[in-house]
Chains A and B, each alone.
Chain A
Amino acid sequence: MGGTSPCASCKLLRRRCAKDCIFAPYFPSDDPQKFSIVHKVFGASNVSKMLQELPAHQRADAVSSLVYEANARMRDPVYGCVGAISYLQNQVSQLQMQLAVAQTEILYIQMQQEPVMPAPASLGEPDDKSFLLHPQAYLNFASSSSNVIHDSLKRESIFGHDMVS
């Protein structure tokens, strides 16, 4: 029986690559770098444990995200993925601010285009104008994920200096 080539993990770990090797489907022998980097950051036994705790159909995605995080950690040994998260969160805030300004501008233009003497029927409808007194309403674009990040990243004491790369 022709033996199949050991997967990249078993090659690096110098062990026999079993038929049911948990790494084999995700770390082919032609890409040794992929396992090497994941092993450096997480360690083979931790990766094995993490994969075993997942259903088979989710393991490929898990490996991809582990490889992504490991690469981020190698590129930035201090901040890793968190550096990217901080930068992107900043971008989201700036864009949301831009959007709020643009939407306020539309309201302003529409107000200018309204007739000077409104028809009697339209009087007594303060709701249309009340939001102009509360522009903060347009800045509330909170999402659940940004709450997760804010809890950790808002603390000045954690990150002694600006993390944006």
Chain B
Amino acid sequence: MNSRCAACKYLRRRCPSDCIFSPYFPPNDPQRFACIHRIYGASNVARMLQQLPENQRASAVDCLYYEAQCRVQDPVYGCAGIISLLYQQIHNAETEIAKTQAQIALLIDSNTQEQQVYLHQNIEVESDLNILLQEQGDEFSLLGPPNQASSGFI
């Protein structure tokens, strides 16, 4: 004897061989149809399924079950509440990303400026050194080769 699907059990009716509910409401999960029925009603669900190609009905029932559960958990906002929360999360994440990228730009900028100051200082030191060497070189040539000079360098 074939067992009735969960929908026909819930509706207390005979489950025909071409029952539109039976592929999606197995008898071992009565809660599934009960929840969907509470929010959408049996005739609405049957009509929605009939308007869909067969290969899309399983997904549609899964989604209806999910939405019905959301509505049971949150009778005021249902799924719309979750969507609103997700939009808020997106906004928060985008704000944080913008702040973080601004921080990165500042850090890179200050890093670059420090490097430029460092390079500039090095150039100055180098040119001072060159001048000093030049001066010493001049003195050296005036004094002649080392073996002739007394301690010419101070």
Contacts and interface: CB of A to CB of B under 8 A. Distances in A.
Q: Do A and B bind each other?
A: yes
Interface stretch (B5-13, B55-63, B132-140): B55-63
Interface in A21-73: 40-43, 45-46, 50, 53-54, 58, 61-62, 64-66, 68-69, 72-73
Chain A interface residue count: which class?
35 or more
A102 B104 contact: yes
Interface string B42-77: 011000100110001011101110110111000111
B35 interface: no
B93 A95 contact: yes
Contacts of B89: 92, 143, 145-146
B119 interface: no
Given A46-B41, A65-B80, A158 B62 contact: yes
Contacts of A72: 79
Interface of B: 38-41, 43-44, 48, 51-52, 56, 58-60, 62-64, 66-67, 69-71, 75-83, 85-87, 89-90, 93-94, 96-97, 100-101, 103-104, 107-108, 111
A103 interface: yes
28 contacts: A41-B44, A41-B48, A43-B40, A43-B41, A46-B40, A61-B76, A61-B77, A77-B52, A77-B60, A81-B63, A81-B67, A81-B80, A81-B83, A82-B66, A83-B63, A85-B79, A88-B87, A91-B86, A91-B90, A92-B89, A96-B93, A99-B93, A102-B97, A102-B101, A106-B107, A109-B104, A145-B85, A152-B69
Nearest to A160: B59
